A = this chain, B = another copy of it.
Amino acid sequence: METLPGVAPPEQQNTYYYVGQHETKRTVPVTTELGNQAQDAGYDMMTRPITSPGFQARVLALVEAYFEAVSASSNANAVPYPLVAPLTPEDTNLVPDEYISTMICCTSTWIDLASPDPVIAHVSRQVFNHEVAYAAFCGVNNIMIQGPNLETSSVISQYARAIWHSLEVGPYINLQILLPMQPTESKAADHGLSLAGRARDSFKTLKSIATDALWSWDTWELIRSTCKYHSRLAIALEIPQKLPSSAIQSRWFSEPLRTLVIPESTFVQNAKGFPVLNKPVQALLTKYMRLKTVPWIILSDVGPIPGQDHPGMPVNLTDRSASPDLPTPAQSKRKQQTQKPKDLTPHLSYIRHLQRTQPPRPIIDRFAAGYQDYLQSPLQPLTDNLESITYEVFEKDPIKYEWYERAVAAALTDLHKKLQRPIVVAVVGAGRGPLVTRCLKASASTGIPVKQWAVEKNPNAYVLLQRRNATDPLWNKRVTVVKTDMRAWKGPLIDDTPQKVDILVSELLGSFADNELSPECLDGVQHVLDPEHGVSIPTSYTAHFTPLAHPKIYADLYGRSGDAEAHKWELPYVTLLHQYDNLCLDTASGEPDIQTAWEFTHPLPEAILAQSKLRRGGSVQAGGSGMVGGDGWNEHNARFCKLRFTASTRGVCHGLGGYFETVLYIPEDKTKKPIELSINPNTMDAKSKDMISWFPIFFPLKTPVTIPTNAEIEVSMWRQTDDRKVWYEWQVEVFASLGGVRQRVGCSDLHSSIRNGCLM
């Protein structure tokens, strides 16, 4: 069964880009007036500092005074730490005005919460706490906080705790940590006026300095882990002109990007002298702006708000009705001739241009808008009866039924050569009948006559099947509709004579292939299939998975509470995986390393089914030689695998992404390819492109597992059964070589979905 949302795909709509303006050092105070001017200029928002330069000067003076007092004193411990007084009106011009909720307030960038010097850290915390508390009081919704300086700061845990504390201070306030994509040269210009530069050398012992390109992400990882993946904590990511590796780009994609900050230095000049972004940055922007939660864009230091030096005076911003696209030579000439004023916000214009010329989104995005990373409990169609709308939604898939028809047609062709008679075809789990229709169409297109059965246990769908048989011109009352659980079906009766089925058609697959108990169902109905030549469509299916970083799903699950959520980590979820990062890439192809867990084939060899029968009901005859058995009649459907993956880049694993593939039919004519369906990202386009029915599945981990550089991830996965139900168990181990010894460096719980097992 599939998981298609019940809405028709909307038309292609361009995402609106919310763009804001930021200056690292504003030269004018931010006022309501300035807010108006920013809005007039076409910006959707702007940033503002919380405190004034005067406040900064006072605090720096306070720290200087402390250091002098310490030098002058015989006992440094006798000098109280500098005490930053509560804010006065001179320190801040922030007031609860009409723009308060449209502005992103910035805490001071000249503090250093992570300073190894306890006095600097202490003063920084006071400044930070004053600013956050006051902003929260005023009703500010969004605060941007300078990330720790990755070159000089060292005590990230101290920084992280300050962030954690501030989240508790304001229950409605959203925080974004401003971070670069990878560590960069620190801006020397700031040091003179920053507290970081004043840390005393004697305290610089515990430096945790940036060690590689991932250190910025690593810093974020500690901060958000300390803050327990708080829903009000996100990132403002600074996009550089020269992008980091694609691994780092995709890593950030999986993190909560609230804002993309594009500084002036990221822009380049095109031939006409206009600021534009190079192609790699454009591609990154396109990718990031397709996130379900669309990031804001902040342009930083791209020039003042037009008119800001002349508050109150109207500003001629350019002819905004003209296209901001790059002007043609003719346009340029015309522009010169009419002497229009130049574009005062060319960077903004360029972003609007990108917004208008976005490439179209893939079809799946349009179909599934709203469903990205939305967790659904897997269907249990064996125990539950589906509703008509569910069937209706499934039936919209343009590929799946087409492929089934091709498979049936090929099977009919192959069998008819052998049997030279009408072929007995049964669709088990017929639902509202779409597969029956396709069987009849295959019969028509091949010209091979069929005797058609449709078996369905859902008494409600059964009503529709009967009606369809009576009214559908193609069905034409030719279909024998049987209401029964397929496992109890005795098989077709033709003139009261039991008949074997030649082709058994079913579509009982879940996102992890066997998770809706297709094996158990088909085993149960296999007895109706002709033991010599009987064909099952599908003939086999496989489950696949790969380790993923998925902080969004982890945060989602972490935040759920209540009795109903007691086992939230202990079951897989069907979801359209979206904001994740593949941890293990195939070294040759660069594709995600998605490995095969196990396979089921149909029909089963007779000997296996025979042993299963013996074990039904646990009957044993004491003594004697013939009978042997016990419990475990479904044990042949248990599975285990232990797969080893290699981490491409260090990171954190939040769970496993699961997929399936199925071979519907392998034509005897070897010039024809097998007919297959797949939602495995590596093969889906080749095997069944544009099939939209199934979402992937996700097996969560209760505690994220750290994956160090070059680590090997070994995943144990079980499909368990106790003859009454089927469930999964999964465990992740991480191995690395240290000190010449390969050792386990991490391990997850053994998770078990037994409490949410699929009942047989």
Contacts and interface: CB of A to CB of B under 8 A. Distances in A.
B718 A736 contact: no
Nearest to A631: B86
Interface in A715-750: 716, 718, 729, 731, 733, 735-739, 741-747, 749-750
Nearest to A84: B630
A564 interface: no
Contacts of A88: 622
B716 A158 contact: yes
A78 interface: yes
A57 interface: no
Nearest to A225: B747
A745 B80 contact: no
A98 to B, nearest CB: 27
Contacts of A733: 157, 222
Contacts of A745: 706, 708, 736, 745-746
Nearest to A213: B741
A79 B607 contact: yes
State the oligomeric state as a number of copies.
2
A212 B745 CA distance: 14
A206 B161 contact: no
B738 A709 contact: yes
The 9 closest A-B pairs by CB, nearest first: A78-B605, A709-B739, A157-B716, A80-B611, A709-B738, A212-B741, A226-B750, A708-B738, A708-B745
B706 A746 contact: yes
Contacts of A161: 716, 718, 729, 731, 750
Interface in A37-82: 75, 77-81
Most buried by B among A78, A214, A221, A636: A78
B736 A157 contact: no
A737 B650 CA distance: 12
Interface in A616-644: 620, 622, 628-630, 632, 636, 640, 642, 644
A397 interface: no
A718 B155 CA distance: 13
A164 interface: yes
A127 to B, nearest CB: 13
A211 interface: yes
Contacts of A160: 750
Contact of A630 (B77, B85, B607, B735): B85
A365 interface: no
A467 interface: no
Contacts of A157: 642, 714, 716, 731, 733, 750
B81 A636 contact: yes
Report the interface size class on chain A: 35 or more
A419 interface: no
Most buried by B among A708, A711, A737: A708
A361 interface: no
A749 to B, nearest CB: 7
A703 interface: yes
A601 interface: yes
A120 to B, nearest CB: 13
Nearest to A156: B733
A464 interface: no
Contact of A83 (B85, B628, B708, B749): B628
A608 interface: yes
Interface in A224-244: 225-226, 228
Nearest to A126: B632
A498 interface: no
Given A222-B744, A729-B161, A747-B706, A85 B620 contact: yes
Nearest to A121: B640
Contacts of A738: 650, 708-711, 736-738
B750 A80 contact: no
Contacts of A158: 640, 642, 716
Contacts of A709: 738-739, 741, 743
Most buried by B among A208, A212, A225, A741: A741
A681 interface: no
Given A79-B607, A218-B743, A745-B746, 8 more contacts: A83-B611, A83-B630, A157-B716, A160-B750, A212-B741, A650-B738, A706-B746, A738-B738
